[in-house]
Amino acid sequence: MTHEQDNTTNTATPSQADAMQTATIEKLRLLLASVNTALVGQNSVVKHVLLAMLSNGHVLLEGVPGLGKTLLVRALAKTFSGDFKRIQFTPDLMPSDVTGHVMFDMANKTFQMNYGPVFTNLLLADEINRAPAKSQAALLEVMQEKQVTTEGKSRKVPLPFMVLATQNPLEQEGTYPLPEAELDRFLIKIVINFPNQEDEVKLTRLITEGNVGDNSSIESINAVMSAQDMLDAQQQVANIDIDEKVVDYAVRIVRATREHPSIFRGAGSRASIALVRIAKAQAFLEGRNFVLPDDVKQLATVVLQHRIALTPDVEIEGMNASDVLNQLLQDIEAPRS
């Protein structure tokens, strides 16, 4: 495996850039359709995960076991010929089990790096909140810097790189809350709910008809793009224009979380950056070269809901972060021109 990749793009004329964008969007739509055939009834989840990848960000997935979180990551990796690894977070997991460690090779009389599972394209950190904070923190550097430092030497992970961490609801026994610094490094948080009756019937038939195991739903998935195609798509997303008024709107939303009476702890500056980045990704996926205020508004909840803490009295009333954010968004005027 190559642990370093060149992420450069050639300068293109406007017409060439438009053609490249059209070709990339077509591949991404094929990717979406392909993953949705494996993960029935979770179209919104799949789209948000793809938007996060296009934004070069990470995803926190919350939901009870058995809703296809592992299947989603495996299917996504297959669609762009990416490497996939999984870490099962447990109370006895050590940081070196995540990042790897340096060992002395007696035969060669040299120190050799034993690469951990983070050296991959898509890393599934399964049940991340079942491990203590020390093990969770092993992901901080690689999530932010796309590198791992051991024995004073930094080693790059393959690109594209994304962490998809699954989290059990905190009400479940044996869970630890994620540190605020780690939560802030996740671009978005997605709450996965049960599929509706029709989709659950379709899923059950897909898995059980003529199949012995549960893996058959991804066997028919083929790669529709390469890892380099995904890197190129990330660069094209970064080049999308965004009006100053739309940036101001995104920042006003984030700043409002710091002053809202129902919010005990508001979102930091990383939230503004994340909101602009993922809004660009949505504009790109919809074939636009500019970001609309609606892109920002539609994505604000998934960007902010894990970055805020509600006041105790609001939680007692049964409200969650999504409810409060929806109220907040109604009070902030969007730019009209």
- Residue 309 sits in a domain of what CATH number? 1.10.8.80
Instruction: Please indicate, yes or no, whether residues 127 and 245 belong to a single structural domain of this protein.
Output: no
Instruction: Examine residue 6 and state whether it is found in any structural domain, yes or no.
Output: no
For residue 215, the model assigns a pLDDT of 53
For residue 170, the model assigns a pLDDT of 58
Spell out the per-residue pLDDT of the chain, length 337, in tens. 444 444 444 566 767 778 888 999 999 999 999 998 878 778 899 999 999 999 999 999 987 766 677 888 889 999 999 999 999 998 899 988 999 888 877 777 777 888 999 999 999 999 888 888 888 888 889 999 999 988 788 999 999 999 999 987 655 566 777 888 888 999 999 988 777 788 778 777 766 665 545 554 677 788 999 999 999 999 999 999 999 999 999 999 999 999 999 999 999 999 999 999 999 999 999 999 999 999 999 999 999 999 999 999 998 998 999 999 999 999 999 998 6
For the entire predicted model, the pTM comes to: 0.88
For residue 4, the model assigns a pLDDT of 45
Instruction: Please indicate, yes or no, whether residues 136 and 185 belong to a single structural domain of this protein.
Output: yes
Instruction: Please indicate, yes or no, whether residues 251 and 163 belong to a single structural domain of this protein.
Output: no
295, 247 contact by CB (below 8 A): no
Alpha helix positions (H), the chain? 14-38, 43-54, 69-79, 95-99, 133-136, 140-145, 180-183, 197-208, 216-219, 227-238, 244-256, 269-285, 293-304, 312-316, 321-331
Instruction: Examine residue 47 and state whether it is found in any structural domain, yes or no.
Output: yes
CA distance 241 to 261: 34
Instruction: Please indicate, yes or no, whether residues 283 and 166 belong to a single structural domain of this protein.
Output: no
Q: How many CA atoms lie within 13 A of 101 on its CB side?
A: 8
For residue 7, the model assigns a pLDDT of 47
Q: Please report, for the chain, how many H helices and E strands are present, in that order.
A: 15, 11
For residue 311, the model assigns a pLDDT of 94
Instruction: Examine residue 151 and state whether it is found in any structural domain, yes or no.
Output: yes
The domain that holds 234 is classified in CATH as 3.40.50.300
CA distance 235 to 293: 22
236, 312 contact by CB (below 8 A): no
Instruction: Please indicate, yes or no, whether residues 147 and 266 belong to a single structural domain of this protein.
Output: no
Instruction: Examine residue 274 and state whether it is found in any structural domain, yes or no.
Output: yes
CA distance 125 to 180: 17
Instruction: Examine residue 2 and state whether it is found in any structural domain, yes or no.
Output: no
Instruction: Please indicate, yes or no, whether residues 189 and 249 belong to a single structural domain of this protein.
Output: no
Instruction: Please indicate, yes or no, whether residues 97 and 119 belong to a single structural domain of this protein.
Output: yes
Instruction: Please indicate, yes or no, whether residues 297 and 245 belong to a single structural domain of this protein.
Output: yes
Instruction: Please indicate, yes or no, whether residues 133 and 276 belong to a single structural domain of this protein.
Output: no
For residue 2, the model assigns a pLDDT of 47
Instruction: Please indicate, yes or no, whether residues 88 and 51 belong to a single structural domain of this protein.
Output: yes
Task: Please give the tally of structural domains in the chain.
Answer: 2
Instruction: Please indicate, yes or no, whether residues 235 and 323 belong to a single structural domain of this protein.
Output: no
**145-to-38, 105, 290, 332 alpha-carbon distances in Å:** 32, 28, 28, 34
Strand partners, 167: 62
Instruction: Examine residue 212 and state whether it is found in any structural domain, yes or no.
Output: no
Instruction: Please indicate, yes or no, whether residues 30 and 177 belong to a single structural domain of this protein.
Output: yes
Which H/E stretch holds residue 171?
none
Structural domain that includes position 303: 241-337
Instruction: Examine residue 43 and state whether it is found in any structural domain, yes or no.
Output: yes
Instruction: Examine residue 213 and state whether it is found in any structural domain, yes or no.
Output: no
